[in-house]
Amino acid sequence: MKSLSAILLLAGATWAGALDQAVDSYLAAVEEREASPWTINGNLGATLTSGNSDAFTVSAGADATRAWDPWTLFLKAAILYGKSEGVENASEQIFTERLERAISEKASLFQEFLFEHDERERLNYRLQFTVGYRRELVEKENFVLHGEAGGGVLHEEFRTAPETEGIAQVGFDFVWKLSKNLTFTQRVVVYPSLSETGEFRVLSESIFTTPLGEQLDLRFAIIDRFDSNAPAGVKENDLLVTLSLQIRFTRKSG
């Protein structure tokens, strides 16, 4: 028994030493792998109409990106507020988080999270979590195209009752530099329901940006969201067109 105890004690000490060495090696590798600075874009836009109808809409948003090989983190937040004839007709908040891990020069795995609150839809919150695979399909001097596929879970809580379902995620996005001063970004994602046949949602984001200065852009965005199973009183197609100013800056890490 004493011999067995001695052996176990020696094995434990050896394992602990190996563990300490592994931790030290990992920390050294992390220290050598410097994270890039945060790249942050903030935008603010407004629409005011008068005549047949008086409407005022404000949109504000920000997105941030940071990379540390092989990971890249994307954060995005947006707020939409509108009044028509003195009555609030839009109040929406959206937050998305996306984490990608490169597995090759052209491919990566991703995890995406969405939180959304919309007064007009009488939506307390929409939570969506998906994971999947993303790959570069085309790369040219002024054009880059990616495709992605995955799946996850969607949970929605309206004023009536919560709903939870499995969903798939299929989409593409590209960045096209049309000229020195004009860039077009397009993303289209389809979310078919895995629980209800024929139900799906579509997100389309089309954004044109042109620089006005070293850190200032003019941004024109068309965001179209389609829900085949929209709640009663809400249109299936939701279109938002905004013209805004975008400020670009970086924040050093640490």
As a whole number, the mean pLDDT across the chain is 83
Q: pLDDT-based confidence at 240, cuts 50/70/90?
A: confident
Superfamily of domain 36-251: monomeric porin ompg (2.40.160.40)
201 in Cβ contact with 221 (< 8 Å): no
In percent, the amount of the chain with pLDDT more than 70 equals: 78
The three state secondary structure string of 175-221 is EEEEECCEEEEEEEEEEEECCCCCCEEEEEEEEEEEECCCCEEEEEE
In DSSP terms, which residues pair with 68 in a beta bridge? Answer: 71
Q: Is the pLDDT of residue 89 over 70?
A: no
CA 171 to chain centre: 13
Q: Is the pLDDT of residue 220 over 80?
A: yes
Q: For 25-41, how does the pLDDT look when each residue is reduced to its tens digit (9 = 90+)?
A: 544 544 455 678 889 99
Q: For 4-28, how does the pLDDT look when each residue is reduced to its tens digit (9 = 90+)?
A: 444 444 545 455 555 556 545 544 5
Domain range annotation of the chain:
1-32, 36-251
Report pLDDT for 153.
Answer: 96
| Amino acid found at 154 | L
Highest-confidence range of 1-5, 48-52, 81-85, 174-178, by mean pLDDT?
A: 174-178
Nearest residue to 39 via CA among 60, 61, 63, 68: 63
Report pLDDT for 48.
Answer: 64
| Amino acid found at 193 | S
Q: For 91-118, how does the pLDDT look when each residue is reduced to its tens digit (9 = 90+)?
A: 889 999 999 999 999 999 999 999 998 8
SS3 10: helix
Helix (H) or strand (E) holding 102: strand 87-102
Tokens of 211: 């620089």
Contacts of 142 (CB under 8 A, 6+ apart): 176, 177, 178
